[in-house]
Structure 1
Amino acid sequence: MTLTSILPTLRASIPDPLAAGSWPARTRATVTDVVVDGVSLHGLAMLCSTPCVHTADGAEPFVVLVSTVTGTTTTHDGRRLLVLDAGLFSEGTTWAELRLLGRASVARLVPTVVCDPDKVPLAEVPMPADVATGDLLGVPCPGGVGRRPGR
């Protein structure tokens, strides 16, 4: 547990820490962005639209996927769902490192199910309770990304 998860208001002044080894070597977090090899993920999404990927420099394939939240809902059992515009995935996707891009949220973390465009669950991770349609999210994908089988 980090200070920013205990006191969410701190996210407005200090970035959530990155998990060592889950991101490419030259990655740094800011309050509202993640910068990989000098490339702002938020800026990349603004230039290229989403879903988009940034391939990091290094010996092994390592990409970061940037996606837009296209829908949110709460299930009958109270679970929060986020639907992403990305149908890309990697078996090694580090969902625990999913990051909100473009703004700092001071909302508390809530368990959130992340889904692909077909509403197939991909992972359950803690996300700020105020993540909404239109928000940008970035996630590291060691080994690259590919299409879901059968598509």
Structure 2
Amino acid sequence: MTLTALLPTLRASIPDPLAAAAWPAGTRATTTDVVVGGVSLHGLALLCGTPCLHTADRPEPSVVLVTTVLDTTTTHDGLRVLVLDAGFASPGGATWPELRLLGRASVARLVPTLVCDPDKVPLAEVALPADVGAPDLLGVPCAGDPRRALGGRARGSLR
């Protein structure tokens, strides 16, 4: 458990730590963004729209998917559900525990959240701040080639 998970208000002044092995080499987190190879993922999404991909010129993992939250609901047993505009569920796909909020710092507590693709197919259960919802932007590192999993829906790719 990280300090920012225990004291969520710290996320306004220090970034959540990244699992370095899950992200392209040289990736760094800020309080409101993730920068991969000098490219802001939040800025990439504003420029290209979502879903979009950033391909780093590094060894694996080298692809990051940026997606938008389309909808938020709650199951009958109280589990939060986020519907994203993209998904990547294939083996060796997205590293869902590393899913990051982009564009703002949240000081809300972490809650279990079910992440789904646009067809509402569950992808993973992760801990996200309780206030994440539409139209928040999220970034997640991916292994392999997520372009196939996106089914041609990716609007931008940057190398």
TM-score tier by shorter-chain length is: over 0.9
Cα contact 1:64–1:139 (8 A) shared by 2: yes
Cα contact 2:11–2:107 (8 A) shared by 1: yes
Residue 126 of structure 2 is aligned to residue 125 of structure 1: yes
What amino acid is the match of 2:149? R
Cα root mean square deviation, aligned: 1.5
Ranges in structure 1 where 5+ consecutive residues have no aligned partner: none
Instruction: Note the 1:1-151 alignment, pairs <5 A.
Output: 1-60=1-60, 62-92=62-92, 93-145=94-146, 146-147=148-149
Q: C-alpha separation between the residues in 2 aligned to 1:144 and 1:12?
A: 33
Of 34-43 and 86-95, more deviation after overlay is shown by: 86-95
Q: C-alpha separation between the residues in 1 aligned to 2:105 and 2:90?
A: 27
Going from structure 1 to structure 2, the CA distance change for 1:20 and 1:118 (only over 3 Å counts) comes to same
Q: Percent identity?
A: 76
Ranges in structure 2 where 5+ consecutive residues have no aligned partner: 152-159
Q: C-alpha separation between the residues in 2 aligned to 1:41 and 1:58?
A: 16
**Deviation, structure 1 residue 104:** 0.1
What amino acid is the match of 1:129? A
- 1:83-135 Cα deviation digits (max 9, x unpaired): 00014455321100000000000000000000000000000000000001100
**TM-score after normalising by structure 1:** 0.94
Task: Report SS of the residue matched to 1:138.
Answer: strand
Task: Report SS of the residue matched to 2:66.
Answer: strand
**Deviation, structure 1 residue 58:** 1.7
Q: C-alpha separation between the residues in 2 aligned to 1:96 and 1:48?
A: 25
- 1:4-50 Cα deviation digits (max 9, x unpaired): 00000000000000012010001000000000000000000000000
Shift >6 Å, 4+ stretches: none
Count of matched residue positions in the alignment of Structure 1 and Structure 2: 149
Greater percentage in strand: 1
What amino acid is the match of 2:69? V
